[in-house]
Amino acid sequence: MAEITATAIGAASGTNPLPGANIVVPGIYSIDGFAVSCLQEGLYRVANFVGFTVQFIVYAQDLDALLSSICLLHQQSSNDGQATPQQLAAIAQTRRVQTTCGIMAAFAVYLLEQAGFQARVANILSVGPYNGYDDGHIICEFMLNGKRCAYDPDLGNDFWFTGTGPMQRASVLDVHYNLASGGITARALVPSESPDAQFSFAFGIENIGANQLAWYERMFRVPYFVSGSTFNFLADNASDAAAAQSYASGFVELSQANYIATYYPPQSLVTTGEPPDSTTSWGTSVVTVVDRSLALTPGASVASLGIFFNGPQSGLKMKIMQELSATSFNDVAETPPQSHPGSGYADFALPFTVPVTGTFRIGMSCEIVGSEAFSTVGNRSLATGDQTGSGITLVNHADGTICTRWTLT
């Protein structure tokens, strides 16, 4: 990836002002009197060298750009002390934050949540001889497609399973159990001298230390989560457990089963499209409608599809539609006819693994009785009749859509 350059393309007249946020969507913004093109996702620093500097992340859907940019907001130091995430958010609008790993992990969680991810701080402990400075590390995990994904914004890495199959992200628990055997690798997210560095989404150079995997192997000996004044940890043997408990009185060992049940339960992640804000009448015929406000995540395992209806409806089929264009679709999976009880969302089982290429959306067919829940935001494609098979022609409408959701396993 090439470094991002923010290009001034003319006077600021007629452009939107830059939002006062750490993360903004791609666009052309008015910055310091100029219209600045910020269409590529990544970290931007704009300065006029006479006292004006602004720094922000442009993000829409490129997760690697987001993770890399968060790393590049940070410089390892304690100059910003025990600043809160909100305080760091203000600092990061003009310069890098200068923090230790734990403060940065909390700030990264704050930013990831701004970008729409569930995230949490995760702690790891070396259980070596206590030295006061290198006894553990603090990183974070974010949720992606129902899975916890380990991410170190301090050192600029995320973690992946090795192997010949499709790349898979690893959780802190995965790293704990698989790093020593060579089953996990740390992927560099920032520019560095390391041959493993794959991404350069922002200005600046960060040097990553040698023997990094060996250091991580030592750090991931005992993972733990903080609950008030208690540090609930997982240890593989009595020696590691005793070492952890010698660090502080608050360390409490959980069994493997209890630790996994508490911090890594099976996930059912629900993704919801546009909420209902109106009602509309669909006529007296069966109609097939595709919600174009929501795309299924490539590679995700769908458990069920849901739709919001105010009143009871019968003969409802939920569908997964492959979008070839705004007006052309393939019906790739559908439920048998169902009854919807009304009064909100109802979900219907439709197990489906979303292909990694192509665009797949939620659809339905039903003879909808009465005026039903509708969102005036979003696009829909529709046709009369229960449309099935391949090469279906639908008509696109940009004035609203049905209200759908999907749950993944």
Spatial contact of 293 and 273, defined as CB atoms under 8 Å apart: yes
pLDDT in tens, 362-405: 999 999 999 998 888 778 999 999 999 999 999 999 888 999 98
Work out the mean pLDDT of the chain and round it to a whole number. Answer: 86
Domain boundaries, the chain: 7-62, 64-263, 269-408
In sequence order, the 6+-apart residues with CB closer than 8 A to the CB of 228 are none
The whole-number pLDDT of residue 200 equals 39
The whole-number pLDDT of residue 205 equals 31
Q: What is the percentage of the chain residues whose pLDDT exceeds 70? A: 87
Spatial contact of 217 and 201, defined as CB atoms under 8 Å apart: no
pLDDT in tens, 37-69: 999 999 998 887 677 889 999 999 899 999 999
CATH class of the domain comprising 269-408? mainly beta
pLDDT in tens, 6-17: 555 555 555 788
Among 222-226, 229-233, 301-305, 319-323, whose mean pLDDT is lowest?
301-305
Spatial contact of 399 and 376, defined as CB atoms under 8 Å apart: yes
The helix or strand, by DSSP H or E, that contains position 319, with its residue range, turns out to be strand 313-325
DSSP 125-161: E--SS--SSSSEEEEEEEEETTEEEEEETTTTEEEEE
pTM above the 0.75 mark? no
CA distance 154 to 87: 18
pLDDT in tens, 203-215: 333 333 457 888 8
pLDDT of 317 strictly over 80 = yes
Determine the length of the chain.
409
